[in-house]
Amino acid sequence: MREFTKSTLSLAWAVPLFGAKQIINLVTHPTQPTQTATEAFDAATLATGSQLGDMMQSMFQVGDDMQREVTDMMLNMLDPRRTAKTTSEIMAWSLEMVKSLGPSKDGRLAWQELRNKLTVFNLVYQVPKTLNLPDGPPYPPLSELVERAYALDAYPSLWAVEGLGHYYGDTFWTRNIVPQNALTETEGVRDGSLTMLHAGVGMAIAQHFLRGINHLSSHSDIRQALKQIILLCKENSKPGYEGAAIESLGLISRSGAFYGDTRPDEMVQIISHLLEEMDPEAYGYFWHGVGRSIYFSPINFLPGYGAIWHPVEMIRREATERVARRNAFAGLSWGVTMVNVRHPHILGNLLNHLNVEDEDERDGFQNGVMSGLMMRQDTTPDAPFIADLYTATPDGFGAEFADKWDRLVQQSCKIALQEYYPILKEHQRLGDIFRYRDLSALIDQILSDK
């Protein structure tokens, strides 16, 4: 207790001195008045944040994201060139928050969506408890564990399989073994589980290597980690499913709680820049995962902020390059489709918030819905809610909505499930749909390569 008290008082004394030091930096570095102080504050925040557990990390991320958005708005209001636009944005955001918190249809959809996301979150992260999995070796055969997941109902089984893949990938690291051929031989494992098993194993691989770096690491260290992640994802994947594993790199990167980074938004931009040069294909998978991850960002579990308008705005801010934007919107649409597959009105709400005149938003949305439903069909064949999602048109969204839904959801999903999916399945190419692709062109390519 004596040493604890001394340490607490030392910290209380160090914090104001640290602040004073940064004020001195502002004065003594006139050519770069804020860079040195910013880097120092970032390092201190990261050092403190790395001591937080998963729950406290998430709470920190919520508060930090909110204060950064508010700060940006306040500073934009002081810029005459941005005042009008920022005022309009604030009014629109305020209106969306009021609608999502009220008793109206928007409010009911927002609360149902939040419940769905919490259900999925718990299914993935509580899978050891749900499936009664051992904490250490010996581990049961993967085929047996998969059957435990499928003993659940159709909706939760998919998410339990993804969580199981993450658990299975971690079993290698807990034994101090680098994963090798984890899913290359899957005899006896239910075939429909492979996409989400690969996604889960990719999560475990990405998480392991990202724990050793952060947004303040040297680019050479980050580049080396990315090479290892991509290599292991390929070496541990069944041919044709590599994309499902690589996509999880984006999911983990944008979720700082996974690896202790307090600025995952910064990390995403660094990785994006490096991957664009290193591996353009992985770049697409990465941004698809980022879009999916933004949907599950801690701030988007917050009532009001968690309504669909907010992840849409986050992607508009963060994904500025065309390939990144299309993949990020496809990943967001994929996530909304998969999480809310039993509630078509929530998918309709996303479509209603998108600018369908923007090709990236429109095409990304369409691709995400088609790919998500094909993956769901493969994992839980003919679950009744698959057809229920797109066959009926959600009401209450205005006169133009029915046409958008018909073109971008109903017709597209029929083609995806009846024409594209059988070919992708036959040729073991389902991993390809974990990034934005022109699916018609992909099918033509597969058939021409026969």
CA dist 301 and 304 (Å) reads 9
At 38, is the pLDDT very low, low, confident or very high (cuts 50, 70, 90)?
Answer: very low
Name which of 92-96, 332-336, 434-438 the model is least confident about: 92-96
At 204, is the pLDDT very low, low, confident or very high (cuts 50, 70, 90)?
Answer: very high
Name which of 51-55, 127-131, 396-400 the model is least confident about: 51-55
Looking at residue 74, its pLDDT comes to 57
- In degrees, rounded to 5, the angle at the alpha carbon of residue 215 between the alpha carbons of residues 212 and 219 is 80
At 8, is the pLDDT very low, low, confident or very high (cuts 50, 70, 90)?
Answer: very low
Q: Give the structural domain span for 264.
A: 55-448
On the question of pLDDT at 79 being above 80, the answer is no
Looking up tokens 């207790």 gives 1
Side chain identity at 126, as an amino acid letter?
Answer: Q
Sign of CA dihedral 55, 118, 294, 312: negative
Looking at residue 64, its pLDDT comes to 61
What is the mean pLDDT of the segment spanning 208-213?
96
Domain assignment of residue 372, yes or no? yes
What is the mean pLDDT of the segment spanning 234-245?
97
Domain assignment of residue 10, yes or no? no
CB–CB of 223/278 below 8 Å? yes
At 17, is the pLDDT very low, low, confident or very high (cuts 50, 70, 90)?
Answer: very low
At 262, is the pLDDT very low, low, confident or very high (cuts 50, 70, 90)?
Answer: confident
Domain assignment of residue 32, yes or no? no
Instruction: Specify the number of domains making up the chain.
Output: 1
On the question of pLDDT at 393 being above 60, the answer is yes
At 315-372, the pLDDT tens digits run 999 999 999 999 999 999 999 999 999 999 999 999 999 999 999 999 999 999 999 9
On the question of pLDDT at 310 being above 90, the answer is no
Detail the DSSP E strand segments found in 138-290.
none
On the question of pLDDT at 47 being above 90, the answer is no
Looking at residue 278, its pLDDT comes to 96
Domain assignment of residue 5, yes or no? no
Domain assignment of residue 255, yes or no? yes
At 15, is the pLDDT very low, low, confident or very high (cuts 50, 70, 90)?
Answer: very low
3-state secondary structure of 330: helix
CA atoms within 13 Å, Cβ hemisphere of 428 = 9
On the question of pLDDT at 373 being above 70, the answer is yes
Domain assignment of residue 88, yes or no? yes
Looking at residue 256, its pLDDT comes to 87
CB–CB of 364/436 below 8 Å? yes
At 274-288, the pLDDT tens digits run 999 999 999 999 999
CA dist 237 and 248 (Å) reads 13
At 414, is the pLDDT very low, low, confident or very high (cuts 50, 70, 90)?
Answer: very high
On the question of pLDDT at 124 being above 70, the answer is yes
CA dist 50 and 32 (Å) reads 28
Domain assignment of residue 135, yes or no? yes
Phi, psi of 426 (to 5 degrees): -60, -40
Looking at residue 75, its pLDDT comes to 57
Looking at residue 81, its pLDDT comes to 59
CB–CB of 200/145 below 8 Å? no
What is the mean pLDDT of the segment spanning 58-69?
56
Domain assignment of residue 240, yes or no? yes
Side chain identity at 330, as an amino acid letter?
Answer: A
Name the CA radius of gyration of the chain, rounded.
Answer: 23
**What percent of the chain stands above pLDDT 70?**
75
CB–CB of 240/183 below 8 Å? no
